[in-house]
Amino acid sequence: MSQQIKIKNALISVYYKDGLEPLVRLLAQQGVQLFSTGGTEQFIKDLNLPVTAVEDLTGYPSILGGRVKTLHPKVFGGILNRRNLNEDKAQIAEYEIPEIDLVIVDLYPFEETLKAGGSEAEIIEKIDIGGISLIRAAAKNFNDVVILASKDDYATLQQQLEEQNGETTLAQRKAYAKKAFHTSSHYDTAIFNYFNTEEPLTLFKQSINTAKTLRYGENPHQQGVFYGDLDEMFTKLNGKELSYNNLVDVDAAVSLIDEFTEPTFAILKHTNACGIASRETIGQAWDDALACDPVSAFGGVLIANREIDLATATEINKLFFEVLIAPSYQPEAVELFRAKKNRVILQRNAVELGKKQFKTLLNGVIEQDKDLIVEGPDQMVTVTEKSPSADELKDLFFANKIVKHTKSNTIVFVKNNTLLASGVGQTSRVDALKQAIVKADAFNFSLIGSVMASDAFFPFPDCVEIAAGAGITAVLQPGGSIKDADSINMANEKGIAMVTTGIRHFKH
How far is CA 282 from each of CA 23, 266, 327, 337, 488, rounded to the nearest angstrom? 53, 10, 12, 17, 38
| Model confidence at 438: pLDDT above 90 | yes
Q: pLDDT for 64-119, tens place per residue?
A: 887 887 888 888 899 999 988 899 889 888 988 899 999 999 998 999 999 889 99
| Model confidence at 2: pLDDT above 70 | no
Q: Which segments of the chain belong to CATH 3.40.140.20?
A: 212-348, 377-500
Backbone angles phi, psi at 246, to 5 degrees: -55, -45
**Secondary structure (DSSP) of 16-56:** --TT-HHHHHHHHHTTPEEEE-HHHHHHHHHTT---EEHHH
**CATH class for the domain made up of 5-196:** alpha beta
Round to whole Å and give the CA distance between 207 and 209.
7
Position 140 scores a pLDDT of 96
Residue 431: Cβ-neighbour burial (10 angstroms; 0-12, 13-18, 19+): middle
Round to whole Å and give the CA distance between 464 and 433.
10
Catalytic residue among 186, 270, 386, 434: 270
**CATH class for the domain made up of 377-500:** alpha beta
* Least confident among 196-200, 413-417, 498-502: 196-200
Round to whole Å and give the CA distance between 455 and 6.
67
Round to whole Å and give the CA distance between 41 and 21.
12
Mean pLDDT rounded to a whole number for the chain: 94
212-348 under CATH 3.40.140.20, yes or no: yes
Nearest to 66 by CA among 125, 151, 121: 125
Query: 484: helix, coil or strand?
Result: helix
182 is annotated as an active-site residue: no
Position 202 scores a pLDDT of 81
The pTM is what?
Answer: 0.86
Please give the helix or strand (H or E) that residue 339 lies within, else none: none
Position 21 scores a pLDDT of 94
407 is annotated as an active-site residue: no
Adjacent-strand bridge partners of 364: 361
| Model confidence at 1: pLDDT above 50 | no
Q: pLDDT for 215-261, tens place per residue?
A: 999 999 999 999 999 999 999 999 999 999 999 999 999 999 999 99
Q: pLDDT for 155-181, tens place per residue?
A: 999 999 999 999 999 999 999 999 999
Strand ranges for 43-98 from DSSP E: 52-53
Catalytic residue among 6, 140, 151, 434: 140
Q: Which segments of the chain belong to CATH 3.40.50.1380?
A: 5-196
Round to whole Å and give the CA distance between 498 and 451.
10
Round to whole Å and give the CA distance between 47 and 45.
5
Position 313 scores a pLDDT of 97
**Average pLDDT over every residue of 258-282:** 97
Position 95 scores a pLDDT of 85
Yes or no: say if 321 and 301 are a contact pair by the CB < 8 Å rule: yes
Contacts for 378-381 with beta carbons within 8 Å, 24 or more apart? Answer: 379/501, 379/502, 379/503, 380/476, 380/499, 380/500, 380/501, 381/479, 381/499, 381/500, 381/501, 381/502
| Model confidence at 474: pLDDT above 50 | yes
Yes or no: say if 83 and 61 are a contact pair by the CB < 8 Å rule: no
